[in-house]
Each structure stands twice: as structure tokens, then as C-alpha cells.
Amino acid sequence: MSLRNDHSHPDDAAAGIEVTPDFERFTQRNDIFTRAFWDNSIRSAKTDAFFASYRIEAAPRRGDGFGQRDFALRNASWLISDVLTNRGAAEVFGADLCVFTVLDTRWLYETRVDTRDLSAAPNDLPPGLTHVIVLGHEMEEDLVATYPSALAGAATGREYSHEAAVVMQLAAYIRNLGYEATASMNATGLVIPFAVKAGLGEYARIQMVITPEFGPRLRFSKIFPNLPLSQDAPKPQGVRAFCDICTKCADACPV
């Protein structure tokens, strides 16, 4: 697929997106989680300990929400997501939210990351893909409310593993209709611009998408099809402006 390096588009403003002339597509190898493995300016004993805590040999922290059972639940919740990621398969029925937008190649990664050796890998997509289906997956409210405990991590991991099954099944359904469909979780491209452009929510001061249904308490997945679809439009609801006025979240943040 040929990839353009376009700058601003006419509908950017409606989605609250500003693109400067020096815009460049992002390289997935530079996301903060991947850099914590190969970039010594990011990697530290603390980051190593964080990732080690997702494996059984790591000693659990003490305290409510940080016991062995809490970590066992969280780590098991990530199983399917981790298996798919390590196999390079992000092809991932039952989504909580679903919107459509046209494929804007600015938000595709310049390169993907090969999880086997953390090197840059070609971000090849089949030719002729025209749209993006953005799926939203709600995380359980009671678990999310326990952040930063391991139980909250279980809410994240469970939805990653759940969305893997959802997006694989929906992509297979589209292919069985005779169309192309490439499914993706975090790989391939940045999902937030697609979600905002399709009106799923607004990008807010906390640097997350705020949705009317779940606030920021959801994960995203996406499918790239050549299926003829209508395009959902951005739906500004004043969230961004409100967050610029109300500073309660920022004031209460411990960091």
C-alpha cells in the first residue's frame, strides 16, 4: 500500500486535530512500552521489575490489591493477548462500541515492531483497503476503580484478550462476505485519531479518548476493510473544553 505523508485534512478541525507542517508518521518501535526493552535512556530496574511482575517468578508486592491472587488474576487475563502479539497476529464479536471512518494513512505506523527482536518491520497492508472500523471494549468499572492495584491491571488484560477474539471473528465475518479485512489491536497504526474522527469520543486533557458511554474506561481495536461503509462524523461534546476549565483530575494526580 502506498502511504501518503499528507498534512492537515479539511475535517481535522471538527475532530480537534491539529497537524503541523513537520508531521511525520510514528514508528511503533518508539512507543514507550517497546522502548523500555531496547532504549537504555528509558529502561531501568523499575521498568524491568514492572514487566517481570507479569511473570510468575516475580515476587508480588504486599498489601490490599497486590497479593499473589491479585497478580495471578491480572497475569492470566493477559494470556490470549500476549500469545497473539508474540506470534505477530493482531487479527483479532461482542464489541461495546463500533464506528466507521475512512482510512487516513497519516495515522498508520511508518514501521511496525518485530516482537521477536524489537527491530523495525515493514508495515505492509493489502492494497485497496478504504476504511477503518474502530471497536471499543469496556473495562470493568469495579476493577478499574482499584488502580494502581494488580486487580486494575486485570481489567486491562482481560479486555485486551477479549478484544483479540472479537476483532478476529469480525474480520473473518467480513472476509467470508468476499471482502478484504485486516484486524489489529495496538499494531498497524494509532487508533485514537481514527476513533476521534469517527465520533467515538473526544481527545481530552488526560491524553485519552473520553466517550459518552464509558468515559476513558475502554480499550480500542480496529479492522481495515475494503468494505463499502458510510463514514461516521466527529461529535464534539465539549469534553475537551470542560477539561481545560476543570482541573480536578490534574490537581488530584499524584504524579
pTM of the model: 0.72
The domain in which residue 161 lies consists of: 27-252
The reply to whether 150 falls in a domain is yes
Number of domains comprising the chain: 1
The reply to whether 91 falls in a domain is yes
The reply to whether 190 falls in a domain is yes
CB pairs under 8 A, 24+ apart, for 1-7?
1/105, 1/124, 1/125, 1/126, 1/127, 1/129, 3/105, 3/108, 3/110, 4/105, 4/106, 5/106, 6/105, 6/106
The reply to whether 127 falls in a domain is yes
Q: Average pLDDT over the chain, rounded to whole?
A: 80
pLDDT in tens, the chain (255 residues): 333 445 668 778 888 888 888 899 999 999 888 999 999 999 999 998 888 777 655 555 666 677 777 777 777 676 666 655 554 353 336 788 888 999 999 999 999 988 888 899 998 889 999 999 999 999 999 988 888 888 888 888 888 888 888 888 888 888 888 889 999 988 899 999 999 998 888 888 778 888 888 888 989 999 999 988 878 888 776 665 555 556 676 677 765
Query: Which set of grid coordinates corresponds to residue 10?
Result: 479539511
The reply to whether 19 falls in a domain is no
The reply to whether 3 falls in a domain is no
